[in-house]
Amino acid sequence: MHILSFDVEEWFHLLEHDAVRSEHSWGGFDRKLPRMLDRILQLLEETESKATFFCLGWVAREYAELVRKIDAAGHEIGSHSDLHTLIFEQSRQEFREELRRSKRSLEDVVGKPVRAFRAPGFSLVPRCSWAFGILAEEGFEVDCSIFPARRAHGGFPNFAASGPLRIRTASGELKEFPMNTARIAGRNMVFSGGGYFRLLPLPLLRRLWSGSDYTMTYFHPRDFEPDQPYLPGLGPLRRFKSYYGLGNSEAKLRVILKEFSFESVAAAERRVDWAAAPVVEIG
Ligand SMILES: [Zn+2]
pLDDT higher than 70, residue 275: yes
Question: What's the CA gap between 86 and 16, in Å, rounded?
Answer: 9
What is the distance in A from the centroid of ligand 1 to the CA of 276? 31
Among the residue ranges 15-19, 73-77, 90-94, 114-118, the one predicted with the least confidence is 15-19
What pLDDT is recorded for position 87?
95
In order of 132, 206, 216, 272, the CA distances from 280 in angstroms are 12, 31, 19, 16
Q: 13: CA distance to ligand 1 center in Å?
A: 7
Tens of pLDDT along 94-123? 999 999 999 999 999 999 999 999 999 999
Residues 156 and 80: their CA atoms lie apart, in Å, by 18
Between residues 195 and 77, the one the model is more confident about: 77
Residue 189 pLDDT: 86
Tell me the CA–centroid distance for residue 84 and ligand 1, in Å. 6
Nearest partner of 123 among 76, 72, 87, judged by Cα: 87
Question: What is the model's pTM?
Answer: 0.94
The whole-number average pLDDT for the span 116-139 is: 95
pLDDT grade, residue 161 (50/70/90)?
confident
Q: How far apart are alpha carbons 221 and 223 in whole angstroms?
A: 5
Give residue 155 CA to ligand 1 midpoint distance, Å: 14
How would residue 283 be classed by pLDDT, with cut points 50, 70 and 90?
low
User: How much distance in Å is there from the Cα of 208 to the middle of ligand 1?
Assistant: 24
Question: 149 alpha carbon to ligand 1 midpoint, in Å?
Answer: 17
- Residue 85 CA to ligand 1 centre (angstroms): 9
CA–centroid distance, 267 to ligand 1, in Å, is 22
Q: Which of 23-32, 34-43, 114-123 has the lowest mean pLDDT?
A: 23-32
Using an 8 Å Cβ cutoff, are 36 and 221 in contact?
yes
Q: How far is the CA of 37 from the centre of ligand 1 (A)?
A: 15
CA of 80 to the centre of ligand 1 (A): 7
Per-residue confidence band for 261, with pLDDT thresholds at 50, 70 and 90:
very high
Could you tell me if 66 and 75 are in contact, meaning their C-beta atoms sit under 8 angstroms apart?
A: no
pLDDT of residue 114: 98
Strand 172-176, strand 187-189: pairing:
unpaired
Distance 72 CA to ligand 1 centre (A): 23
Distance 269 CA to ligand 1 centre (A): 22
Distance in angstroms (rounded) separating the CA atoms of residues 178 and 119:
12
CB atoms inside a 10 Å sphere around CB 230 = 10
Give the distance (Å) from ligand 1 centre to CA of residue 52: 14
Burial zone of 109 (CB within 10 Å; 0-12 exposed, 13-18 middle, 19+ buried): buried
- pLDDT tens by residue, 163-209: 999 999 999 999 999 999 888 888 888 899 988 899 999 999 999 99
- Interatomic CA distance for residues 145 and 283, integer angstroms: 14
Distance (Å) from CA 9 to ligand 1 centroid: 6
Span 216-249, pLDDT tens digits: 999 999 988 888 777 777 777 777 777 778 888 9
